[in-house]
Chain A
Amino acid sequence: MQLRSEIQIQTAIKAMTEVVLPALDPHDKIAAEQGQLVVGMLALLGQQLPLQYRFDRDELTRLHAFAAALHPRASWPASAREAFAEMDSAAAGAEDVLDRARAEPHELEESIKRLRHAMTSVVRTVFSADDADARSAVRDSVMAMSEQQLLRDRSWLLMQNWEPNPQAVPPIEELLSVSEPRGEGAT
């Protein structure tokens, strides 16, 4: 996906600072202040977004360690036992989540790019060679994969209103909840 938050934020800030803010009525102090706040908020978002996942993971790691350190003592009130049991259960859940959240978002992004590049090289190589069977097989695979991925891409961008028939595109939440690729029948 090329339309990522980084480029959206960067170009929105540029439009605000170079075009919108200079064009505001200089006497409208509230508009000027809120315009500056929008730029500031976007800049903050741009700085935080790449680190948001790492920030949350770091917080969960330390909370998990804190939960482990918070051992109940015998002298503590029995009424707290239920709360401790709940904490232990939540800590076990946190451990599981941390186990599954090892890769950084940028690693995921780089891995996607690398695989896309390698697959594209395969397509180019096969289509420049004289082997009809190989071409046909690669073509079928690319078309099937593209159909599924493009459905998700279009759904991801539904809010932009490009789709002539938006009802034919399932919501992105539904598509992303499907763990195995499948051939959704959108038009």
Chain B
Amino acid sequence: MTQPDKDSPSPEWISSLRARFVTEREVDNALTRKLENRSGPGYQPVPLDELVDGVSALIRSNGDSSFEIADAYWLPGGASKLQMAFTVRWNQSDATSEPSRMVLRTETAESLHTTSRRREFELLSALNGVIPVPTAYWVDHDATHLPYPGLVTEFADGVSKPTDTQSGVSGLGTRLPPALREKLAPQFVERLARLHTFDFRAENLRTFDIPDAGRQNAIWAINWWDRVWEEDADEDVPLVALASAWLRKNAPAVDQLSVVHGDYRTGNYLFTEHDSRINAWLDWELARIGDRHQDLAWSTSNAFATYDENGRNLLVSGLLTEEEFFEAYERASGLSVDQKSVHYYKVFNAYAMVVMTLATSYRVARNGKSHQDVLLSWLLGVGYMLMDDMRRLIENGS
């Protein structure tokens, strides 16, 4: 059994993966960079002061030199990126400039999602004013100033779950009281409709490749996760190979391309508690131009659902029933929901989550590449339940 050394990938192996799994150029860039750096050192704890220095250098490189950074602290949450909140005090002579609260999101040596900060920056900039997103200020795409690539955005006020409730890792299993659901659910649906009808062609999204109409977007997406599996998995799983073949055979043609968030669910937006208004949508790193049914299937995943108080109705992202969700979405967007495509993308999403948990979590944690290795090794355990979900979905769809 000859296996490539995945912890020290050869240039030939990297080239062969790039040729086998053709995907978007920026996705390819990020994954290639990950492999080229893999044999390097693991993650070393980064002191806040070092990040403050890096951010200062980043701001100066963009032309602002009269400022100081204060009140830096770590933000919790997320299994993928380091996050630091801080305040910039601008030293303006007229003293009219208010201090700006900001957030730095930076990668680690490797993380659960290997993605592009430049791409996240571009999309946040394009969506500003379309749906609530934090304003993106600066990006250090190739870690010129920071220890790892990073992105600075506005600090958005709000909470991802009611302050008096409990939930699991990454906001999973958040229970929302009925009065709050009534206010959040329409916003949840309406923002998704607005995202999916957003005219991305009018924007300068240079790091996003626009697929041809038809199946190309689906094939790029399968190639993305097939490649990550090959790069990160330790032990082979016959069902994963079978699922990949199923996805290729059943890939649907898209009727209208949309910007897809990739992780659209409760836990990834902030709302202000005094008026229950969704103030910011976060975590755009998995976004791509593709099929809206990917988001619809993701939002309706059982992994993000909770039951209502009676225990009878399963609520999409803890907010409303699936039937209500699809009806409201069709009304708000003017786009149809095709149940066959929803099913396909449920299989696809389960497949991607299996790859993230069983392959990437394992490789990152074992090689000590992140600040959250213990969390990633814990998350590895959910991969088997997800894989069994994927098996059942394939069985039901055959």
Interface residues of A (CB under 8 A from B): 2-3, 7-8, 10-12, 14-15, 18-19, 112-114, 116-120, 122-124, 127-128, 138-139, 142-143, 145-147, 150-151, 153-154, 156-157, 160, 162-164
Q: Say yes or no: B237 contacts A116, CB within 8 Å.
A: yes
Contact A11-B387, Cβ < 8 Å, known A127-B241, A142-B239, A145-B238: no
Most buried by A among B235, B368, B395: B235
Binding-face segment, B21-29, B253-261, B374-382: B374-382
Which residues of chain A come closer than 8 Å to B387, judged between CB atoms? 146, 150, 153
Please tell me if the beta carbons of B242 and A123 are within 8 angstroms of each other in the complex: yes
Contact with A along B210-247 (1 / 0, CB 8 A): 00000000000000000000000011111111100100
Further 19 A-B residue pairs, CB within 8 A, beyond A120-B241, A139-B242, A142-B238: A10-B368, A11-B365, A11-B377, A14-B373, A15-B374, A113-B235, A113-B236, A120-B238, A120-B240, A123-B242, A124-B245, A143-B242, A147-B388, A150-B391, A154-B384, A156-B384, A160-B382, A163-B385, A164-B302
Q: Are B358 and A2 in contact (CB under 8 A)?
A: yes
Query: In whole angstroms, how far apart are the Cα atoms of A143 and B245 in the complex?
Result: 13
Nearest Cβ in chain A — how far from B20, in angstroms? 12
A-B contact pairs, 7 of them (CB 8 A): A2-B234, A116-B236, A119-B236, A120-B236, A120-B238, A138-B242, A157-B381
Which of the residues A3, A112, A123, A151 comes within 8 Å of B380, measured between beta carbons?
A3
Q: Is the CB of A11 within 8 A of B237?
A: no
Query: A-contacting residues of B (Cβ < 8 Å)?
Result: 1, 3, 45, 234-242, 245, 302, 358, 362, 365-366, 368, 373-374, 376-378, 380-385, 387-388, 391, 394-395
A154 smallest CB distance to B (angstroms): 5
Report the minimum CB–CB distance from A28 to chain B (whole Å). 21
In whole angstroms, how far apart are the Cα atoms of A116 and B234 in the complex?
11
Q: When chains A and B are docked, how far (Å) is the Cα of A160 from the Cα of B234?
A: 22
> Within the complex, what minimum Cβ distance (angstroms) separates A128 from chain B?
8
Residues on B with C-beta less than 8 A from A139 are 242
| A113: B residues at CB distance < 8 A | 1, 235-236
- Assuming the contacts A7-B365, A146-B391, asked whether A117 and B3 have C-beta atoms less than 8 A apart, the reply is yes
Contacts of A116 on B, CB cut-off 8 Å?
235-238
**A154 touches which one: B237, B374, B388 (CB < 8 A)?**
B388
Total cross-chain contacts (CB, 8 A): 106
By a CB distance below 8 angstroms, the chain A residues around B238 are 116, 119-120, 122-123, 142, 145-146
* B168 nearest in chain A by CB position: A161
B residues within 8 A CB of A122? 238
- A145 CA to B362 CA, complexed, in Å: 23
Beta-carbon nearest neighbor of A163 in chain B: B385
CA of A119 to CA of B237, assembled, Å? 8
**Contact present for A162 and B241 (CB under 8 Å):** no
Residues of B within 8 A of A19 (CB): 45
- Contact (Cβ within 8 A) A160 B388: no
Q: Is A160 within 8 A of B374, CB to CB?
A: no
A171 to B102, CA, bound (A): 49
Do A112 and B235 touch (CB < 8 A)? yes
CA distance in complex: A139, B382 (Å): 24
**Contact residues in B for A163 (Cβ distance below 8 Å):** 385
Among A112, A114, A145, A146, contact of B1 (Cβ-Cβ < 8 Å): A114
Contact of A162 with B1 in the complex, beta carbons under 8 Å: no
For residue A159, which residue of chain B has the nearest CB?
A: B381
Contact B383 A15 (CB under 8 A): no
Task: Give the residue of A2, A119, A153 whose beta carbon is less than 8 angstroms from that of B362.
Answer: A2
> Which among B238, B373, B378, B395 has the greatest number of chain A C-beta atoms within 10 A?
B238
Complex: how many Å from CA A14 to CA B371? 9
With A and B bound together, what is the CA distance between A8 and B361 in angstroms? 12
Instruction: Verify A146–B381 contact, CB threshold 8 A.
Output: no
Task: Among B368, B378, B384, B387, find the residue whose CB has the most chain A CB atoms closer than 10 A.
Answer: B384
Q: How far is the CB of B290 from chain A (nearest CB, A)?
A: 24
Residues on the A chain within 8 Å of B3, using CB: 117
Closest A residue to B45 by beta carbon equals: A18
| Chain B residues whose C-beta falls within 8 Å of the C-beta of A118 in the assembled complex | 1
Report Cα–Cα, A116/B237, bound state, in Å: 6
Q: With the chains together, A107 CA to B362 CA distance in Å?
A: 21
A-chain residues with CB within 8 Å of residue B365 when the two chains form the complex: 7, 10-11
- Chain B nearest CB, measured from A151 CB (Å): 8
**In the assembled complex, which residues on chain B have CB atoms less than 8 Å from the CB atom of A18?**
45
A7 x B362 contact (CB < 8 A): yes
Alpha-carbon distance between A139 and B388 when the two chains are bound, in angstroms: 15
Contacting pair A3 B236 (CB below 8 A): no
- Assembly CA distance A11 to B237 (angstroms): 24
**Interfacial chain B residues near A112, Cβ < 8 Å:** 235
Q: 4 nearest interchain CB pairs?
A: A127-B245, A153-B384, A15-B374, A120-B236
Whole-angstrom distance between the alpha carbons of A136 and B259 in the complex?
36
Given contacts A11-B376, A123-B241, whether A143 and B383 have CB atoms under 8 Å apart is no
In the complex, the answer to whether B241 meets A154 with C-beta atoms within 8 Å is no
A147–B239 CA distance with the chains assembled, in angstroms: 10
Chain A residues contacting B381 (CB-CB under 8 Å) are 3, 157, 160, 162
* Distance from B316 Cβ to chain A, minimum over Cβ atoms (Å): 15
